[in-house]
Amino acid sequence: MADVKLEIQMLHDRVLVRISPEDGERRSSGGIVIPSTAQMAKRLSWGDVHGIGTHVRHVKVGDRVLFNPDDQLEVEVHGQTYLVMRERDVHATATEQTDQGTGLYL
């Protein structure tokens, strides 16, 4: 039973998000490395959507979303940490546009 992979289906207006790895350590414009543990002003994070509930209307799996990570619940699935949030807690979405050009658009 330990080798069985379960499929996660989110309910209602819930969104399953994995925080993007680049939200960790970053570099200032002057080249100074700022660790992810540095205390800064309240900061929003980007994450990738891995699951959505049946009542989610504006977000789809594969989108990048902007949200406040401090107000979310964490869950571990198959050794990966994800956040569970309501769709209304998402501030913005970014989707890859391949039919009209390249890049990431807000």
Say which residues have a Cβ less than 8 Å from residue 95's Cβ, sequence separation at least 6.
62, 63, 64, 104, 105
For residue 58, pLDDT beyond 70: yes
Burial level of 83, CB count in 10 A (0-12/13-18/19+)?
Answer: buried
For residue 104, pLDDT beyond 70: no
Please indicate, yes or no, whether the overall pTM of this predicted structure exceeds 0.85.
no
The CA distance from 37 to 30, in Å, is 19
Q: Which CATH number fits domain 14-22+41-105: 3.90.1150.10, 2.30.33.40, 1.25.60.10, 1.20.272.10?
A: 2.30.33.40
For residue 23, pLDDT beyond 70: no
Residue-range domain boundaries for the chain: 14-22+41-105
Question: Which pLDDT score is estimated for 30?
Answer: 75
Question: Which pLDDT score is estimated for 13?
Answer: 87
The CA distance from 50 to 14, in Å, is 11
Instruction: Tell me which of 17-31, 58-72, 89-103 is least confident.
Output: 17-31
Average pLDDT, rounded, for the chain: 77
